[in-house]
Amino acid sequence: MTQPLLDVRNLTVEFPTRTGTLVALSDVSFDIHQGEILGVVGESGAGKSLTGSAIIGLLEPPGRIAAGEIRFDGRRIDNLPYDDMRKVRGRQIGAIFQDPLTSLDPLYTIGEQLIETIQTHLPVGAGDARARAIRLLQETGISAAEQRLEQYPHQFSGGMRQRVVIALALAGEPRLIVADEPTTALDVSIQAQIISLLRRLCKEHGAAVMLVTHDMGVIAETCDRVAVMYAGRIVEIGPVGSVIHSPAHPYTTGLMGSIPAMEEDRERLLQIDGAMPRLTAIPPGCAFNPRCPRVFDRCREERPELLDAGRTRAACWLHASSLEQAA
Amino acid sequence: MNEASPLAQGAPPLVEVKNLGKTFDVSAPWLNRVVERKTRQYVHAVDDVNFTIERGTTLALVGESGCGKSTVARLLVGLYQPTRGRVFFDGEDTAATLRSRSARALRRRMQMIFQDPYASLNPRWSVADIVGEPINEHGLVETGGGSAVRASTRRRKAKVVELLQSVGLDGADVEKFPHQFSGGQRQRISIARALATEPEFLVCDEPTSALDVSVQAQVLNIMKDLQRVRGLTYLFISHNLAVVRHVSDEVGVMYLGRLVERARKNKLFTTPRHPYTRMLLDAIPDIHMSGRARTPVRGEVPNPLNPPAGCSFHPRCPHANQRCESERPALLARDGCVVACHAVEEGRI
């Protein structure tokens, strides 16, 4: 097997507070291969955006990486000095955030922002940079790109702004793009446009994507593999088809059942009772055990690691028993 | 009481909306208009909307941001005054009733649930106060002097506890404050508050959009249970078609302030007629990965300040012709649904 492009091992992120240390991410491990799209899904507070911020080195203080390592193309990037990380960010790893308005500077034209980004990362002259900027805008489906370069972000609609943000993320020709809820702020018709655009451009540019979202539909349409997060841990990871059609973790099963489907009629939706625990009150053992319909004694005492569960890997003791019986 | 009204034939619909319109004045300030020679500008947020809601059923309004669905919700409960047209609730004209002495009685019968449960609850009030306020306001528990005051306070608290339990919260939660609850629990408090006056009609403006899917399922289940038990009538506003399909009986699709299609749920989702409805249905990500081919959606919603002439959807419509560019289509009933589209009318699609 070739070396993965991004390799995250046992990543733990902590927030020291006056009342004690909050562990927001705990023992998160996954990898992304060249050209692959990995979806990261979970409910608010599950730690999916935090994983993205840790990878691009933008953890908000006092948050810090307490353990584990992040390797990009074999090189450790979690402990790089600030200035070295700046060279990685944008050039090697691009980022797309949820709200396209706050990702763009309202005081500079789109052209200035794009050209500055291109020249920061690539050794090209002003004329070449401008030509590249125009090409990038055209690739993202913005018509009259040359005139649009002279305009300011407020002159763009929400969907158009997100296209500009994607162009900015691609400007440094990164090999990995961390996209944090890129379509959440958009209407459904625009969301479909942006998703297909993102997928097409990443294929054309050969970039891998880590797509953070809470929308299972977006994951199903876009990703190759998906990681499901719950209370700061990955509870299931595997090929997107397997996770959606035959989930191995009870949380994934509940999550899939609670989504109203377009194809079938159900009088009641499957619901997971309760809510995700707060970081201050994560239960011992498996964090999902108070809400789990299939809980047993071991779940309340021991925390499960990711175990092989058919075609996916799930952090659930249900799969340990089958493993032990087999052995 | 309204047997004499022309609307009260047979079982009249609970809500009837006729030619409803709302125009907002978004002109620049007077000085700017004078100096920069600008004219007054208006946004027709809602234009010529007609629908009825039968008792005990749910009408869902769907559409993208800025299509006027929330404005319709606010017009229905009287938070906005209609510019044109009228809203009838149980045969009474709401705008007239809300100006009359029986306004309070009408308000008791319809309540609203808002989108953001973080903004719609007063953070300085306990749950007992939040849910108890409508009970006080409408005098729903008898009050008296002396020891009767304490008795009525006790009765009110008992009522609040009962309401909380009906939405799946714990009776002991009455002493807590909103910040001690999660988003889903807050939305249940909003529902409990809305139910406090024992309304017949609930207007729900994106009640689950701010919630996570597993919590959304809890809230949707509670809303359906309450509808069954209490015979509630809902106007359900949402941009999420899958949610709409789950909760509604009838669906209205809005585009730039107008209803473009209205049909029974099954009809709308199996055989959508209007090109915009088709586009919306097509845009939903396919969670089951059936490999269904999707037609890419073209363009974006135009600026409502300057809507296109004719059918406002024509710049994005694959079936548009010259007639669509110049003549605005009327809502026409055909095969059990109403559609505003020239192409459907002419049998082109």
| Residue B218 touches partner A, C-beta closer than 8 Å | yes
List residues bridging with B86 in a β-sheet: B18
pLDDT of res. A8: 95
The interface residues of chain B toward chain A in range 34-93, judged by CB-CB distance below 8 A, are 64-65
CA atoms of B342 and B331, how far apart (whole Å) = 10
Asked if B213 and A273 come within 8 Å (Cβ–Cβ), the reply is: no
B interface test, pick of A44, A161, A187 with most B CB neighbours within 10 Å: A187
| Residue B183 touches partner A, C-beta closer than 8 Å | yes
B interface test, pick of A44, A189, A258, A272 with most B CB neighbours within 10 Å: A189
Give the rounded percent of residues in chain B with a pLDDT score beyond 70: 93
| Residue B148 touches partner A, C-beta closer than 8 Å | no
Helical axes B275-283 vs A188-205, angle rounded to 10°: 50
| Residue A171 touches partner B, C-beta closer than 8 Å | no
Q: Are the CB atoms for A291 and A210 separated by under 8 Å? A: no
For every residue of A12-40, DSSP letters joined together read EEEEEETTEEEEEEEEEEEEE-TT-EEEE
Asked if B285 and A261 come within 8 Å (Cβ–Cβ), the reply is: no
pLDDT of res. B289: 60
Mean pLDDT of B76-102: 91
Asked if A187 and B65 come within 8 Å (Cβ–Cβ), the reply is: yes
Model confidence pLDDT, tens digit, residues A48-95: 989 999 999 988 888 899 999 999 999 999 889 989 998 899 899 999
| Residue A197 touches partner B, C-beta closer than 8 Å | no
Alpha carbon separation from B123 to A280, A281, B129 (Å, rounded):
22, 23, 11
CA atoms of A97 and A183, how far apart (whole Å) = 9
Of B218, B286, B296, the CB nearest to A271: B218
pLDDT of res. B196: 93
Question: CA A130 from chain center: how many Å?
Answer: 30
Question: CA B12 from chain center: how many Å?
Answer: 20
Give the rounded percent of residues in chain A with a pLDDT score beyond 90: 49
Mean pLDDT of A239-252: 92
Mean pLDDT of A277-293: 89
- Number of C-beta neighbours around residue A121 at 10 A: 18
Q: Three-class SS of residue B141?
A: coil
Q: Three-class SS of residue A205?
A: helix
pLDDT of res. B37: 86
- pLDDT at B7 exceeding the cut of 80: no
Q: Three-class SS of residue A27?
A: strand
Of B284, B286, B287, the CB nearest to A188: B284
Q: Look at phi and psi of residue A172 and say left if phi exceeds 0, alpha if psi is from -120 to 50, else beta.
A: alpha
CA atoms of A327 and A65, how far apart (whole Å) = 37
**ipTM for the assembly:** 0.78
- Output DSSP code: residue A29: E
Amino acid of residue B40:
R
pLDDT band for position B248 (cuts 50, 70, 90) = very high
Q: Which residues in chain B are closer than 8 Å to A263, comparing Cβ atoms?
A: 288
CA atoms of A27 and A12, how far apart (whole Å) = 5
Q: Are the CB atoms for A166 and A194 separated by under 8 Å? A: yes
pLDDT of res. A27: 92
Phi, psi of A22 (to 5 degrees): -95, 130
A interface test, pick of B69, B116, B186, B214 with most A CB neighbours within 10 Å: B214
**In the Cβ-directed half-sphere of A301, how many Cα atoms lie within 13 Å?**
3
- Output DSSP code: residue B301: P
Asked if A188 and B280 come within 8 Å (Cβ–Cβ), the reply is: yes
Of A214, A217, A268, the CB nearest to B285: A217
pLDDT of res. B76: 93
Q: Three-class SS of residue A147?
A: helix
Q: What is the pTM of this model?
A: 0.83
How many helices (H) does chain B have, and how many strands (E)? 13, 12
pLDDT of res. B139: 83
Q: Which residues in chain B are closer than 8 Å to A240, comparing Cβ atoms?
A: 289
Q: Which residues in chain B are closer than 8 Å to A218, comparing Cβ atoms?
A: 285
Asked if B287 and A188 come within 8 Å (Cβ–Cβ), the reply is: no
CA atoms of A317 and A289, how far apart (whole Å) = 11
List residues bridging with B21 in a β-sheet: B84
Q: Mind telling me how many Å the CA of B106 is from chain A's nearest CA?
A: 31
Q: Which residue has the tokens 């192409």?
A: B343
| Residue B246 touches partner A, C-beta closer than 8 Å | yes
Cis preceding linkage at A250, omega within 30: no
| H helix or E strand, kind and range, residue A163 | helix A158-170
Q: Which residues in chain B are closer than 8 Å to A281, comparing Cβ atoms?
A: none
Model confidence pLDDT, tens digit, residues A117-158: 999 999 999 999 999 999 999 988 888 888 999 999 988 888
Mean pLDDT of B302-321: 88
Measured between CA atoms, the residue of chain B closest to residue A244 is B288
Q: Which domains does chain B have, with CATH numbers?
A: 15-124+177-345 (3.40.50.300)
* Nearby residues of B122 by Cβ (< 8 Å), 6 or more positions away: B129, B130, B178
| Residue A160 touches partner B, C-beta closer than 8 Å | yes
Q: Tokens standing for B3?
A: 């047997």
For every residue of A208-247, DSSP letters joined together read EEEEEES-HHHHHHH-SEEEEEETTEEEEEEEHHHHHHS-
User: What value does the CA radius of gyration of chain A take, rounded to a whole number of Å?
Assistant: 21
Model confidence pLDDT, tens digit, residues A146-203: 899 999 998 888 888 888 999 999 998 899 999 998 888 788 878 888 888 888 888 8
Model confidence pLDDT, tens digit, residues B207-218: 988 888 888 888
Asked if A159 and B300 come within 8 Å (Cβ–Cβ), the reply is: yes
pLDDT of res. B102: 87
Asked if A196 and B296 come within 8 Å (Cβ–Cβ), the reply is: yes
pLDDT of res. B193: 94
Asked if B214 and A258 come within 8 Å (Cβ–Cβ), the reply is: yes
Of B184, B213, B279, the CB nearest to A275: B184
- The average confidence (pLDDT) of chain A is 88
CA atoms of A114 and A133, how far apart (whole Å) = 6
- pLDDT at B169 exceeding the cut of 80: yes
- Number of C-beta neighbours around residue B154 at 10 A: 11
**In the Cβ-directed half-sphere of A217, how many Cα atoms lie within 13 Å?**
21
- pLDDT at B14 exceeding the cut of 90: yes
Amino acid of residue B169:
L
Q: Tokens standing for B226?
A: 């309450």
Q: Count how many pairs of residues, chain A against chain B, have C-beta atoms within 8 Å.
A: 117
- The average confidence (pLDDT) of chain B is 87
| Residue B269 touches partner A, C-beta closer than 8 Å | yes
Q: Tokens standing for A42?
A: 């979970």
pLDDT of res. B290: 60
Q: Are the CB atoms for B253 and B63 separated by under 8 Å? A: yes
| H helix or E strand, kind and range, residue B180 | none
* Nearby residues of B31 by Cβ (< 8 Å), 6 or more positions away: none
Q: Mind telling me how many Å the CA of B187 is from chain A's nearest CA?
A: 13
Q: Three-class SS of residue B257?
A: coil
Q: Which residue has the tokens 């959440």?
A: A184
Most confident of A53-57, B144-148, B207-211, B283-287: A53-57
CA atoms of A22 and A101, how far apart (whole Å) = 31
pLDDT of res. B1: 39
pLDDT band for position B177 (cuts 50, 70, 90) = very high
Q: Tokens standing for A95?
A: 């980022």
